[in-house]
Amino acid sequence: MSKSTNAEARAEARRRSRIAAKERAERGDEPREAAVTPAAQIATGQSAQSGLGFRAAFRGSFGVAPIRDDLRQLPRLLRTRAFFVPLAAIAVTTAVATQQGVLSTSVAQLAVQSILLPPAFVIAFLAGMLTRRGSWLLGGIFGVITYGGALLVGSVGDLSALDATNPVRAFLEQNVAHAKDGGALAGDLYGVAVSGIFAGAFAGWYGRFLRSMSPARPSSRDLRRRDATQRKGGSRR
């Protein structure tokens, strides 16, 4: 028998083997996953464990905000850590800053400037990073809440401990002065709400971008479910 005849026979045997494997998979005699080649399994595992490329993740992180759905989800968002953690930071900063003589320290001034003074980018960004939806909504809410905290510090805090040229004192005194004017107060509230919305929306986009770039990792619940399934399969054997 010539070499060409042997090659044709081996090719015909491989073709029949593939056809038989496909027929068994269609009948259910063999799991469909068993017909997948090892190379395909490796490629699938690598694509699931690795994140998207930079361009794909950048394009995929943009989208239209589901405003109505986010508004319906607001009561649930107010019970999550995305609301309580930034709120606790605001409450602690406000309580500490209103104590006598605390504003004279550089640490307290930095905390008030970063957390309370508008635009409250840090708090709005933190809230947006802690949630996967409604980040813009939480950002706007915390923009208004931080303005209220700054107004309380400016009204109750010991501003005499700061120099007259201190920017923190100037901002706090300006907030107190605007609170006495309805038009100025409305303008301030509108400004801090809009800036908070943009900061929260940016945080939401950035979070989606990071999740797209990062490898997909199963949650603890998925791991427990997979372990339970494996144990059941082992007991049946």
Over the stretch 180-191, which tens digit does the pLDDT of each residue have? 999 999 999 999
Tell me, yes or no, whether 107 lies in a domain: yes
Alpha carbon of residue 70 to chain centroid:
14
Angle, helices 182-213/135-156, rounded to nearest 10 degrees: 140
Tell me, yes or no, whether 220 lies in a domain: no
Q: Are 148 and 226 in contact (CB under 8 A)?
A: no
Supply the DSSP symbol for 29: S
Q: Are 84 and 141 in contact (CB under 8 A)?
A: no
Please tell me the pTM assigned to this model. 0.64
pLDDT for residue 16 = 77
How many angstroms separate the CA atoms of 75 and 73, rounded? Answer: 6
Supply the DSSP symbol for 160: G
Identify the weakest region by mean pLDDT among 29-33, 69-73, 173-177, 219-223: 29-33
Average pLDDT of the residues of the chain? 79
List the structure tokens of 156: 């109750």
Tell me, yes or no, whether 53 lies in a domain: no
The whole-number average pLDDT for the span 25-36 is 51
Cβ partners under 8 Å of residue 204, min gap 6: 128, 131, 132, 133, 135, 136
What domain range includes position 146? 77-213
Tell me, yes or no, whether 186 lies in a domain: yes
pLDDT above 80 (res 199): yes
Tell me, yes or no, whether 141 lies in a domain: yes
Supply the DSSP symbol for 70: H
Residue-wise pLDDT tens digits, 133-161 = 889 999 999 999 999 999 999 998 888 88
Tell me, yes or no, whether 41 lies in a domain: no
What's the maximum distance between 2 C-alpha atoms anywhere in the chain? 106
Tell me, yes or no, whether 6 lies in a domain: no
Give the chain's radius of gyration (CA, Å).
30
pLDDT above 80 (res 213): no
Angstrom CA distances, 140 to 45, 93, 127, 195, 226, stand at 41, 19, 10, 7, 40
| Structural domains counted in the chain | 1
| pLDDT level of residue 36 (50, 70, 90 thresholds) | very low
List the structure tokens of 62: 């943009």
Tell me, yes or no, whether 101 lies in a domain: yes
